[in-house]
């Protein structure tokens, strides 16, 4: 028996500035892969020498100004973070400042030497993206021949220094039939966990949605539930399905599945151009750029920026539509403010997934405020295809 | 909360049971929602204002397997937490 307990809402005193927990460092404007679903859309750069990268000076200034604000970790992402020409120097700074290290990589450049450098950080988390159980599928998604074996080799190089990465698999029509096999492959590769991502309709991901190359929301909900209820109990891996809290089983949330919450109260992005931004969305939406490293004090940006202050005051209470009526909104915060703003140019816009689920009659009634369900819609006979 | 207290679930609070026997408790007065596991659901259903907390503990012990020794304290903490958040009250003295 488990003793009584569960999942409390995370009520927050949102208006005051919070600790800046993590800086998301988008180290490169280019990427050595050309993934069909990328929500940032970096320019393809096979050699890593054509497009700007975050300077070491800006990286260090942002960290040093972040520590008095509570900074405890950095996430290195891109583009592709391992393309940064002074990657090892960045790792040295992170170690010197005793920060938690998170790396999101496609693995192509994760040599034994780089893996050993990463392993010098004692508090680290690495994720490697693999989007198919075979080269043809993964490379269809990622756009570059040979990248499948490189990603698998990255996993082996990390294992050699006792790093068990999370594998991230983004679900598309092309690979959705490989979900079960992917669990087995992740087990064989010695991953610590496997996370299934949903394609976000931003940048290249938006094209994927328009071209009907992503599963319909109903299919994704079914898949998420199957992952939680059928696949997760059968594997030693931690499995995460990245759909909104409204669809997650309560017991998965209670056991620590915090995926799909917007981290906006504790994170800030640093773009390769040296600008502060809400997160990587600043690459796509210029009004979500908040200042420049070195020219603008991070404390001023974090404490005074109008959009950040507005979000602290308004989330989750001002969320609109289905998100405003959802019982999970205190935990979820609209799932992804950046995505919502990209789609509607409105900070309080509801999350696309939940909107589509509600329109299709698939939003869980138990997660809605009583009496707030939309009037039953007239069936068109096309619900199964609704996305 | 004492073992002799008779907690009563707020009649305003909505219990939403889900597929895995977990449930959401929603307080429309405050718009607060709490997710709870099957033991919490059992406790919730026993809080009728007539049953002493000690009896609720006994009934829960008889309804579940592998009950840990700490269950009285755990249930008391759970009920206290719900009480602090306006989900649970106590029967008025003398009633």
Pairing state between β A193-198 and A238-241: parallel
Statement: residue A384 has pLDDT above 60: no
> Is beta strand B88-90 parallel, antiparallel or unpaired with respect to B7-9?
antiparallel
* Lowest mean per-residue pLDDT among A7-16, A168-177, A303-312: A7-16
Residue B94 has pLDDT above 70, yes or no: no
Instruction: Find residues 10-69 of chain B whose CB sits inside 8 Å of chain A.
Output: 14, 16-20, 22-24, 26, 28, 31-40, 42-43, 64-68
Query: In whole angstroms, what is the distance from residue A275 CA to residue A277 CA?
Result: 6
Distance from B51 to chain A by nearest Cα, in Å?
Answer: 18
Please give the share of chain A, as a percent, with pLDDT higher than 70.
91
Q: What is the CATH number of the domain that holds B73?
A: 3.90.930
User: Does a structural domain hold residue B91?
Assistant: no
A–B interface: beta-carbon pairs under 8 A: 87
Q: Is B35 close to A8, i.e. CB distance below 8 A?
A: yes
pLDDT digit string (tens) for A81-92? Answer: 999 999 999 999
B31/A313: higher pLDDT: A313
Question: Residue A46 has what pLDDT?
Answer: 79
Query: In the predicted model, what is the mean pLDDT of residues A16-32?
Result: 93
Runs of H (alpha helix) within chain A: 56-66, 87-96, 112-119, 135-142, 147-160, 179-188, 204-210, 217-226, 250-254, 298-304, 306-314, 321-324, 329-332, 337-344, 352-359
Residue B17: Cβ-neighbour burial (10 angstroms; 0-12, 13-18, 19+):
middle
**Domains in chain B: how many in total?**
1
Collect all residues of chain B within an 8 Å Cβ-Cβ radius of residue A8: 34-35
Instruction: Tell me whether residues A250 and B20 touch, CB distance under 8 A.
Output: yes
Flag whether B76 is in a domain. yes
Chain A interface mutation, best of B9, B19, B21, B35, highest count of A Cβ atoms under 10 Å: B35
Tokens of A78: 């891109």
Q: Is A190 exposed, middle or buried (0-12, 13-18, 19+ CB in 10 A)?
A: middle
The pLDDT mean for chain A works out to: 91
Whether residue A382 is predicted with pLDDT greater than 50 in this model: the reply is: no
- CB-nearest to B37 from A4, A229, A330 is A4
Helix, strand, coil percentages (3-state) for chain B, rounded to 5, are 35, 20, 40
pLDDT digit string, tens, across residues A29-72: 999 998 999 988 788 887 777 888 999 999 999 999 999 999 99
> Where does A22-254 sit in CATH, by number?
3.20.20.70
- pTM metric for this prediction: 0.87
Q: What is the ipTM of this complex?
A: 0.77
Please give, rounded to a whole number of angstroms, the shortest distance from the CA of A370 to a CA of chain B.
8
| CB–CB contact B68 A367 (8 Å) | no
In this structure, what are the phi and psi dihedrals at residue A199, rounded to the nearest 5 degrees? -65, 125
Residue A373 binned pLDDT confidence (cut-offs 50, 70, 90): low
Cβ distance of B71 and A3 shorter than 8 Å = yes
pLDDT (0 to 100) of residue A383: 34
pLDDT reading at A7 higher than 70: no
- Residue spans per domain, chain A: 22-254
Inside any domain, residue B63:
yes
- Strands B14-17 and B23-27, by their bridges, are antiparallel
Q: Measure B92 CA to nearest chain A CA, in Å.
A: 25
Q: Which of A2, A3, A251, A257 to mutate to test the interface with B (most CBs of B within 10 A)?
A: A3
Of B37, B70, B71, the CB nearest to A251: B37
CB A126, CB A118: distance < 8 Å: yes
Report pLDDT for A376: 43
Q: Are the Cβ atoms of A250 and B32 closer than 8 angstroms?
A: no
**Taking CB atoms and an 8 Å limit, are A254 and B24 in contact across chains?**
no
Q: What domain range includes position B66?
A: 7-83
Edge-first strand listing for the sheet containing A100-105: A238-241, A193-198, A166-171, A124-129, A100-105, A73-77, A22-26, A267-270, A275-277, A289-292
Distance from the Cα of B74 to chain A's closest Cα (Å) equals 6
Q: How confident is the model at residue A258 (pLDDT cuts 50, 70, 90)?
A: low
Look at phi and psi of residue A237 and say left if phi exceeds 0, alpha if psi is from -120 to 50, else beta: beta
CB spacing of A330 vs B33 below 8 angstroms: yes
pLDDT for A98? 97
Residue A166 confidence (pLDDT): 96
> Could you tell me if A289 and A276 are in contact, meaning their C-beta atoms sit under 8 angstroms apart?
yes
Whether B14 has a pLDDT exceeding 50, the answer reads: yes
Interface contact flag, A11 B22, Cβ < 8 Å: no
Residue that has been written with the tokens 């790396």 in this structure: A103
Q: What is the CA radius of gyration of chain B?
A: 13
Which chain A residue's Cα is nearest to B71?
A3
Please give the pLDDT value at position A86: 97
pLDDT > 90: what percent of chain A?
80
In angstroms, what CA-CA distances link B46 with A2, B1, B43, B63, B65?
17, 15, 5, 12, 18
Please indicate if any CB of chain B lies within 8 Å of the CB of A122: no
DSSP-assigned beta bridge partners for residue B23: B17, B36
* Residue whose structure tokens are 């390769």: A272
Distances (CA, A) of A48 to A33, A36, A139, A153, A212: 10, 19, 19, 20, 31
CA-nearest of B92, B95, B90 to B10 is B90
Which of A1, A8, A248 to mutate to test binding with chain B, by most B CBs within 10 Å of its CB? A1
Query: Which chain A residues contact residue B65 at CB under 8 A?
Result: 1
Give the per-residue pLDDT at A292.
98
Average pLDDT, chain B: 90
Q: Are A160 and A135 in contact (CB under 8 A)?
A: no
């Amino acid at each position: 028996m488990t003793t009584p307990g569960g999942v409390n809402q995370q009520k927050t005193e949102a208006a005051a500035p919070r600790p800046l927990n993590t800086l998301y460092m988008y180290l490169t404007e280019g990427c050595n892969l050309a993934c069909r679903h990328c929500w940032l859309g970096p320019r393809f750069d096979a050699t890593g020498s054509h497009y700007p990268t975050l300077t070491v000076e800006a990286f260090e200034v942002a960290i040093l100004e972040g520590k008095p604000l509570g900074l405890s970790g950095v996430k290195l992402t891109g583009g592709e973070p391992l393309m940064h020409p002074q990657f090892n120097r960045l790792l040295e700074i992170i170690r010197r400042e005793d920060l938690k290290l998170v790396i999101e990589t496609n693995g192509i450049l994760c040599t034994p030497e780089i893996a050993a450098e990463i392993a010098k950080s004692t508090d680290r988390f690495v994720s490697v993206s693999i989007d198919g159980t075979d080269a043809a599928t993964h490379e269809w998604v990622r756009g570059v021949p040979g990248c499948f074996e490189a990603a698998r080799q990255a996993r082996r190089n990390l294992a050699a220094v006792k790093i068990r990465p999370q594998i991230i698999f983004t679900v598309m029509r092309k690979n959705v039939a490989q979900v079960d096999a992917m669990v087995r492959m992740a087990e064989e590769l010695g991953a610590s966990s496997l996370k299934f991502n949903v394609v976000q309709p931003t940048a290249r991901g938006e094209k994927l949605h328009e071209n009907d190359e992503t599963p319909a929301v109903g299919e994704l909900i079914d898949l998420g539930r199957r992952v939680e209820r059928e696949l997760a109990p059968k594997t030693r891996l931690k499995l995460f399905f990245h759909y909104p809290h409204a669809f997650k089983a309560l017991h998965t949330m209670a056991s620590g599945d915090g995926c799909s919450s917007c981290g906006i109260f504790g994170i800030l992005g640093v773009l390769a151009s040296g600008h502060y931004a809400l997160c990587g969305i600043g690459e796509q939406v210029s009004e979500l750029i908040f200042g420049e490293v070195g020219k603008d004090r991070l404390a001023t940006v974090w404490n005074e920026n109008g959009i950040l202050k507005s979000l602290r005051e308004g989330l989750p209470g001002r969320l609109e539509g289905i998100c405003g009526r959802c019982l999970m909104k205190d935990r979820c915060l609209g799932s992804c403010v950046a995505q919502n703003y990209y789609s509607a140019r409105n900070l309080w816009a509801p999350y696309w997934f939940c909107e589509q689920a509600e329109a299709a009659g698939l939003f869980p009634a138990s997660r809605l405020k009583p009496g707030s369900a939309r009037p039953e819609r007239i069936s068109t006979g096309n619900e199964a295809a609704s996305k | 909360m004492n073992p002799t207290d008779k907690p009563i679930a707020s009649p305003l609070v909505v219990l939403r049971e889900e597929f895995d026997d977990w449930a959401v408790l929603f307080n429309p007065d405050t718009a607060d929602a709490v997710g709870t596991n099957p033991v919490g659901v059992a406790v919730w259903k026993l809080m009728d204002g007539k049953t002493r907390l000690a009896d609720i503990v006994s009934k829960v012990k008889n309804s579940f397997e592998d009950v840990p020794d700490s269950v009285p304290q755990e249930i008391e903490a759970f009920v206290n937490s719900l009480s602090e958040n306006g989900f649970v009250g106590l029967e008025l003295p003398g009633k």
